[in-house]
């Protein structure tokens, strides 16, 4: 938009300015200095002409100066009803963990089996869907499968395999969450020294992924990052530093802008963003800046209470559940409700679960309480299944991918039943 400014310089105005002796204006210059500059900028090459019909007055010919002002930004009208409605269609989700996110084997096409899980098949995903899980999260680590900067081209064979597994979920009638995973082990470092490089690689990867899946319908959901954090830092798992949290927010915005720019169904695709480390803590939630986009949700990870769900090395933990710690779950959900849901931002828990401690009944009791609290707030959650059940690792596995059965059928039934009970 352009405006025309008319600058009138008169002899009377000049005389008045000189009489004042020069008063300092907001630019730190005296009014006489400012008048002189205005005079120089607006003088006409023609001599001034006397005004007709008014004795003793004079008129300086006006000169039109065009200045450009930016178009006013349209106010953002928040309406995320479509995002809430889409998520309401999910019962409960399941993670295909330690598969496409496995890393350490380089760009080998068999890297998805490097951490001990079998090659993913359509039959495997069909079995999960048949149990009643109508959503699947597919974690993918791209770091070892992209070319060098500046293009960060994803290797065709890898992207083809990602698409093949996405199609398994779509074919099974599931909602599919596709994310980037374990990238903080490589390049996704949210601090000032690495911010620019992180933005460049994140946007390069998502541009290619978004273009590949542009025509998929709303059953495919993009999740920009998984647990973005500075590994090894003192506050790695405690919400990070304020500057790191802001960088994660800028990465979220870069992800949104990149996907939206690819057009097609990506213009209204549900995009899932996250706070630093997917942390659900008070400071992280309170300070989180919500982007201006109608088709977004925020993802947090909640292994709550930690000392029941995860037996940390050397840490205290308890392996029985009598409901006395249910308040820990409720307290976190109240924060998420205050700082996200009440601000019209849907919340999804893309990772939850409890490790196998040899007491399946206790996990079942916990799961009932956990999911009942989620139901109170309309929050959907995805069990983190890494395929490990009776190993020396983190035993979050509930589905036997080789035999297409559940390690504990009663737990699988409980998860689905609790999620569908209102």
Interstrand relation of 2-7 and 63-68 (parallel, antiparallel or unpaired):
antiparallel
The one-character DSSP state at 5 is: E
- Residue 174's closest CA among 97, 90, 117, 115? 90
Q: In whole angstroms, what is the distance from residue 65 CA to residue 248 CA? A: 44
Catalytic residue among 223, 244, 249, 351: 351
Do residues 321 and 359 make contact, with C-beta atoms less than 8 angstroms apart? Answer: no
Q: In whole angstroms, what is the distance from residue 55 CA to residue 148 CA? A: 79
Do residues 303 and 315 make contact, with C-beta atoms less than 8 angstroms apart? Answer: no
How is residue 349 written in tokens? 């828990």
How is residue 55 written in tokens? 């004795």
Do residues 148 and 107 make contact, with C-beta atoms less than 8 angstroms apart? Answer: no
Q: What is the pLDDT at residue 67?
A: 56
The one-character DSSP state at 189 is: -
Q: What angle do CA 333, 334, 338 make, to 5 degrees?
A: 115
Q: What is the pLDDT at residue 317?
A: 80
222: β partners: 178, 271
Sequential pLDDT tens for the chain (422 residues): 433 333 333 333 333 333 333 333 333 333 333 333 333 333 333 333 333 333 344 444 444 555 566 677 788 999 999 999 999 999 999 999 999 999 999 998 789 999 999 999 999 999 999 999 999 999 999 999 999 999 999 999 999 999 999 999 999 999 999 999 999 999 999 999 999 999 999 999 999 999 999 999 999 999 999 999 999 999 999 999 999 999 999 999 999 999 999 999 999 999 999 999 999 999 999 999 999 999 999 999 999 999 999 865 556 788 899 999 999 999 999 999 999 999 999 999 999 999 998 899 999 999 999 999 999 999 999 999 999 999 988 999 999 999 999 999 999 999 999 999 86
Q: What is the pLDDT at residue 393?
A: 83
What torsion do the CA atoms of 138, 144, 149, 155 make, to the nearest 10 degrees?
A: -70
The one-character DSSP state at 358 is: S
Catalytic residue among 223, 227, 244, 249: 227
Q: What is the pLDDT at residue 70?
A: 67
**CATH 3.30.470.20 given to domain 81-419:** no
- Domain residue extents for the chain: 2-68, 81-419
Provide the angle, in degrees to the nearest 10, between the axes of the packed helices 31-42 and 11-20: 160
| 351 catalytic per annotation | yes
How is residue 73 written in tokens? 């930004």
Q: What is the pLDDT at residue 73?
A: 73
Q: What is the pLDDT at residue 34?
A: 36
Interior/surface letters 173-194, b for 16+ CB within 10 angstroms, e for the rest: ebbbbbbbbbbbeebbbbeeee
């Amino acid at each position: 938009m352009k405006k025309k400014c008319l600058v009138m310089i008169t002899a009377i105005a000049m005389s008045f300015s000189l009489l004042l002796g020069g008063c300092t204006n907001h630019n730190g210059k005296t009014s006489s200095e400012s008048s002189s500059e205005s005079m120089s900028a607006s003088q006409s090459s023609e001599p001034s002409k006397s005004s007709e019909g008014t004795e003793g007055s004079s008129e300086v010919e006006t000169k039109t100066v065009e200045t450009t002002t930016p178009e006013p930004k349209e106010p953002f009208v928040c309406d995320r009803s479509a995002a809430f409605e889409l998520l309401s269609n999910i019962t409960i989700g399941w993670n295909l963990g330690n598969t496409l996110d496995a890393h350490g084997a380089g760009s080998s096409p068999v890297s998805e089996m490097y951490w001990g899980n079998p090659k993913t098949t359509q039959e495997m995903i069909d079995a999960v869907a048949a149990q009643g899980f109508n959503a699947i999260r597919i974690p993918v680590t791209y770091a070892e499968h992209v070319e060098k900067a500046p293009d960060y081209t994803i290797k065709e064979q890898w992207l083809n395999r990602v698409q093949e597994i996405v199609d398994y979920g779509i074919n099974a009638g599931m909602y599919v969450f596709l994310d980037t995973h374990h990238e903080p082990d490589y390049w996704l470092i949210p601090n000032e020294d690495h911010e620019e490089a992180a933005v460049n690689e994140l946007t390069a990867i998502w541009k290619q992924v978004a273009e590949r899946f542009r025509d998929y319908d709303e059953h495919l959901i993009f999740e920009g990052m998984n647990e973005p954090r500075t590994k090894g830092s003192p506050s790695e798992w405690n919400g990070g530093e304020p500057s790191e949290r802001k960088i994660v927010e800028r990465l979220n915005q870069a992800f949104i802008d990149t996907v939206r720019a690819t057009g097609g169904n990506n213009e209204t695709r549900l995009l899932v963003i996250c706070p630093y480390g997917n942390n659900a803590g008070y400071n992280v939630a309170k300070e989180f800046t919500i982007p201006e986009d109608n088709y977004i949700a925020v993802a947090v990870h909640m292994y709550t209470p930690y000392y029941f769900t995860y037996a940390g090395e050397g840490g205290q933990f308890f392996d029985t559940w009598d409901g006395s710690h249910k308040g820990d779950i409720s307290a976190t959900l109240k924060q998420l409700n205050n700082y996200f849901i009440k601000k019209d931002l849907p919340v999804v828990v893309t990772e939850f679960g409890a490790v196998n401690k040899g007491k399946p009944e206790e996990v079942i009791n916990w799961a009932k309480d956990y999911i009942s609290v989620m139901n109170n707030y309309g929050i959907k959650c995805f069990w983190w299944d890494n395929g490990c059940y009776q190993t020396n690792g983190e035993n979050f596995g509930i589905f036997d991918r080789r035999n297409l059965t559940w390690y504990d059928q009663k737990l699988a039934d409980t998860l689905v039943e609790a999620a569908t009970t209102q």
